[in-house]
Amino acid sequence: MTDDWSRVTDSIAERHAALLRNEFAALRDDADRLGVSLSAGLTVERAEIPADSGGIVSYLAWSGRAPAVTFLHGGGLNAHSWDSAVLSLGAAAIVPDLPGHGESSWRDNFDYAPATIAPLIARLLRDRGTGPFPVVGHSMGALTAVQLAADFPELVSSLVVVDITPSRKPTPNSERIRQFIRGQDSFTDYEEIIALAVTTGMGRDRRGLERGIILNTRRRADGRLVFKHHFASAPPDANAYSQDIRYLWPALEDLRIPVLLVRGTRGIVDEAQAAEFRQRVPAGAVVELDAGHNVQRDAPVELARAIAAHIGITAAA
């Protein structure tokens, strides 16, 4: 990790260049903003494992105090969406770019269903050689986490589900998210993407949006910016949002590990869905935070504290 970002905060062009040179350039700035010390042994590196489709699953391996927590990001995001939450928690972490996202390979068949992705995450966790792990999943990553816990119980010690349930249903917020992820497929510059993100309600913190967008885009041969995730370049007949995921309710109900639902009060899980979770998973717990769907971006410190309480440690922030 370097402090390149903190040395060039007054120049947008230099900030962009610093992140493109070093994906970890902003972490010291993040840590300072969150009040977290990076001198306590928290370090991060990128690694990868082979994927079943012939590509790779790329991931961030954070070293730090036990236990190692696995974080699975939402659709259209990548491993760096968890940076602030991981820093706030201060524990070791395994944070993959899910297949079709970030530096991980796309799947030719556009199959990113929980049942397809969970075995790849299981292979990654076995490759790390320790466990079982507390697993935290956001949105698409949370559904994969439920599948992972059901199919590979020996690898999951506790579960945190962030702003989704198997009763996912269209809401104004979810439709705006879908518009951002599956709408315009290329852009002239970063400012055009940031403006769209603000318009569609993806966030109001321009610095945070800028950072996330730089790390989630690449330049095409014609110079246009495109998202790294496959959802923005999906086949015409593909619809990643059409899957009926209610089949995951029995899997969630049958888990014999601690389960926590974190609901963003401005997110996509309404009070009725939270009530259904309480009814179906009576041993589970629910925490509500003042946040939109991307709770880890809007309230990373509060989310880290909720995770820490759930797994029995003290958060760093």
Q: What is the length of the chain? A: 317
Selected catalytic residue, list 139, 230, 298, 310: 139
Helical ranges in 1-136 per DSSP H: 4-7, 12-21, 27-34, 83-89, 114-128
Selected catalytic residue, list 73, 80, 138, 293: 293
Amino acid at the residue 47: A
Is residue 154 within 8 Å of 133, Cβ to Cβ? no
Is-catalytic flag, 229? no
Q: Which residues pair with 266 in a beta bridge?
A: 292
232 CB contacts (<8 Å, ≥6 apart)? 76, 181, 182, 185, 226
How far apart (Å, rounded) are the C-alpha atoms in residues 227 and 204? Answer: 20
Is residue 171 within 8 Å of 177, Cβ to Cβ? no
How far apart (Å, rounded) are the C-alpha atoms in residues 119 and 125? Answer: 10
What sign results for the dihedral spanned by CA atoms 132, 240, 293, 218? positive
Is-catalytic flag, 310? no
Q: What is the DSSP string of 34-47?
A: HT--GGGS-EEEEE
Q: What is the DSSP string of 150-166?
A: HH-GGGEEEEEEES--T
Selected catalytic residue, list 163, 174, 298, 310: 163
Element (H, E) at 234: none
Which residues are known to be catalytic?
139, 163, 293
